[in-house]
Structure 1
Amino acid sequence: MTETTETATAPRPQYPFSSRGDCLAPELDDLRGECPVVPALSNAGEDVWLVTGHAEARAVLTDSRVFDRAAVGLPDAPVQDTPIYAPEVMNTMGFLRRAGLADEVRRALGPEHPDLPEEWVRAVVRRELAAMLAGPQPGDLQHHLATRVSGEVMCRLLGIPLADLPRVAEFADGDVTMLVPAEQTARNWAGMQSHMAGLIAQVRDGTAASARIPADGLMQRLVARNDPDRGLTTGQLANIVGGLFVLGYEDMTSFLGVGAHNLLRRPWALEELRADPATADRHIEELLRFSVVLGNALARIVTTDTEIAGRRLRAGDMVLISTDAANHDPEVFPDPHRYDPRRSPNPHIRFGHGPHYCAGAHLARWVARIAFTELSHHRDLRLAVPPEQLEWRPNHMAITLAALPVRW
C-alpha cells in the first residue's frame, strides 16, 4: 500500500484497540483527529486502511464498485482476522438473489417478520426477566435478556429446533472469536455447516417432524423454494442458514447486552421509557449510535486505484470501517460521547450504509424496542458492580459482556 504523507514510515496501530463496550476506544478519537483514513494493521497483521470518519465511512460503504465486500473472501485478499470460510457467507444476499430467494429473506427479517408474533417475543422477554428475578442475587441480565432472548428469536425465525440452541450458539461463539488458529476456525465452521445441512436434509426428505424440527420457518421456506439444480447447493444453503444465525444471534446478543448496560447506567432513561413508551424509538436510535458493539470492523477490498481523505489507495488494499468511530464523529454528532435520545438528526451507520445495508436492521430495532420497554418496568433493577468491574468477552467480533450482574 502506498501513501503520500510522512506517516508511511510511522508504526501502524493494530486494530481493534479494545474489547470493551462501555466507551469508545480513545485511540479511535485520536486517529480521527489526525485523519479520518489512516494506515493500520489488521488483527492478522496485514496492512490495511482504517476509516474512522462518518463522511468517509459512508463514502466507502456507498461505492460497492470501488470498495467490494465480496472480495474480502477471495483467497488472495488481505486477512482481517482469520480466513473467511465460504464466499456465500461474505456475499449472502448476492447468492440469494441469484437463486431467487433474497425476497424471502428480506420478508422474514423485515416489518412483516411472519415467524415472530409480537406477543410471542414479548412473552419470551417477560419469562426470562421473571426467571432471573425468581433466582438468587445478583442475577445475570446478559444471560436472560440478551443471550437467551436472542437465541430463541433466531431459532424461531429460522426454524431451528430450540433444543439445538446450545449447540448452534456454541458454534456461533466460536465463529466470531478472533485470533484463533485458522484450522480451529475451519473445524468450527465445518461443524456449523454439517449441523445445518443435517436439518436441511431432514426438511427435504420429510423426516423433520420426527426430528422435532418446526414445520415452518425461514429455513423451511428456503428449502422448499430452492431449485437444487439451478439454485443453491446443500452446502451453500447450509452456510447461508448458519451465517444468518451467527449474524443475528451474535449481533442481537451484543446490542441487547450493551444497550441494557447503557440504560441501567442512566436510570432517567429507563424512567422515561416507562412513563412514555412513545419515546422508545428515539432511545433505540441513540442506543444504536452510542453503544460500542463492533469488535472488529466492516471490511472492503479496493478494486481500482482511488483516493479518499487525501490518501491514495491501491487496488487490492483492504479497508476497515469502524462504524463505532464514525458514529462518534463530532463533525456529525455534537458532543458525541453524551447519550442524548433527543438528538436530531441522528444519521448513525450502525447497520452500514448503501447497497449492503443490513437486512436485519428492522428486526434488531423491533426486538430491542420490546426488550428495553419490558426492562423499564422493573424500576428496582440496578448494576450489582461498578461499571469498571464488568467483564467483557475478549477478541469477540461483536462486543459482548461476559455477564451483566444486577440486583433489585
Structure 2
Amino acid sequence: MGSLSIRAWVQERHAQLHMARWMLEFDDEDAEDEFVVYDDMRGLNEARFPLAIGMVFTLVYGVVDVLILDEVPLALVLIRLAGAVTFLAAGVVITRSLWVSRHLQLASVGLLSVLLVALGTLMARSADFPPEYLRTSCTVTLLGAVGLLRLRMHAAIAMTAVYVAVCLTLPGVLGGVDTLARNVAPTAGLAAIALLIAYALEKLRRTDYLRQREVEIEQARSEELLHNVLPAAIARRLRTGEGAIADSAPSVSVLFSDIVGFTPVSEALSPEELVQLLDTMFREFDELCEQRGIEKIKTVGDAYMAVAGLPVPDPDHAASLAELALDMQRTLNRLSPSWPSPVAMRIGIASGPVVAGVIGRRKFTYDLWGDTVNTASRMESHGRPHRIQVAEATYALLADRYAFSDPQTVEVKGKGPMTTYFLLGAS
C-alpha cells in the first residue's frame, strides 16, 4: 500500500463513529457492515463453546426431570435428546455451512426458538410441570443465547419475544387466566434483564471494536510515516528488531538528477512559492517511481536520487531507470512554463554493484554506497542540460533497445577519462 493510499485510508476511517441510542448501530453504514462481519466472524470462531454448553445443560435438565418427576414422559426424553443432538449437529454445521456463516444471528434465533417452542408446548400440556419449571428452563436458554451466542439487539429482541410467547401464551391457553396472570410479572422481568444484558454486551463489543479500529488507524499512520522514510521491505525488517540493516547488490542502476538554472528561480520566488514548485515536481517524480517499482532514495535541494533493483530485485533495472529518466524529462518540460525563468535538468545513470543500508536510529535514512553511486553522481554533474548521460556499463545493458549518441570521452573528477553516452530514447 503506497503512502497516498494509506493516507486516504486513514482519513476515511478516522471519521468519528457514533452508536444509535437503543439499537446501537453505527451511523456510518460501511462501518456498521464491517462490524457485523467482524462480530459474526468472532461468533463463528467461538460458537462451539456455547453450543457445547447448551448440549450439557440440556442433558443436565434431563437428569433434573428424573429427580422431580415421578414418571418422565417419553416425549420429554425425546425432546431433551433431540435438543442435545441438535446442539451437537449445529456445532458441525455452523463451521461448514456458508448460509449459516452469512446469517449467524438468524440461524441462532431460529434454532433456539424451535427448541423453546417444542419444550414449552410439551411442558405446558403436562400437569406435572409447574409454570416456574417451564420459565426457568426457557430463561436459562434465553440468557445462554444472549450471553454466549453474541446476539445483537435485533436478534435479542426477537429471541426475547419468543421467550415471552412461550412463557405466557402456552400456559395462558392451556392453564387459564390465573396461570397467565401469575406468570406476567416474572416473565416480563426476566425478559427485561435479558435485554439489558444483550444491550450491555453488544455495547461492550462495539466499544472494543472502536478501540481496535483506533489502534489500526494509529498503526496505519505509523506505517505511512515509516514508508515515507524507508522502503516497505526495509521497514518490515526494521519492525522485526533486526540489528544493522546492510545489503550488497551485485547489479543495480542508480540515477541522479539536478536542475540547471535553479538559482535564478529561487531568487525570484518567495520561500512558499519555491517549495510549492519543488513539491509539485518531486511529487510527480515519486509517482513515476512508484509506477515502475523504483525506489526513491532522497532529495537534496533540487537534486533527486533513485535506484532500480533495490530493495526488490529487478532483472531489467537499467531499462526501468532509463524509462524513468525519459519520463522525468517530459515532466519537467510540461511543468517548466510555470516557472519564472528557464530551467533544464541534467540526469546521470550508472549500473553496477552497490551496498545499501539504514543509517542511524533517529531520523534514520536508507542510503547507497559504492563506486556505482559515485559514477552516477559524476554522470549527472559532468553532463549537459536536457541530457541523460549514462556510464558504459548502463549502455551495455541497453544498447540493443535504446538509441544513444556516439560515445564520448569525459574527464571525470577522481576517476579520470571515462567513455559515456547520451540516452536519446527507445530505438
For the aligned pair, the TM-score class normalised by the smaller chain equals under 0.3
Q: Which has the larger radius of gyration?
A: 2
Structure number with greater CO (CA < 8 Å, separation at least 6) is 1
Which structure has the highest helix share of the two? 2
Which structure has the highest strand share of the two? 2
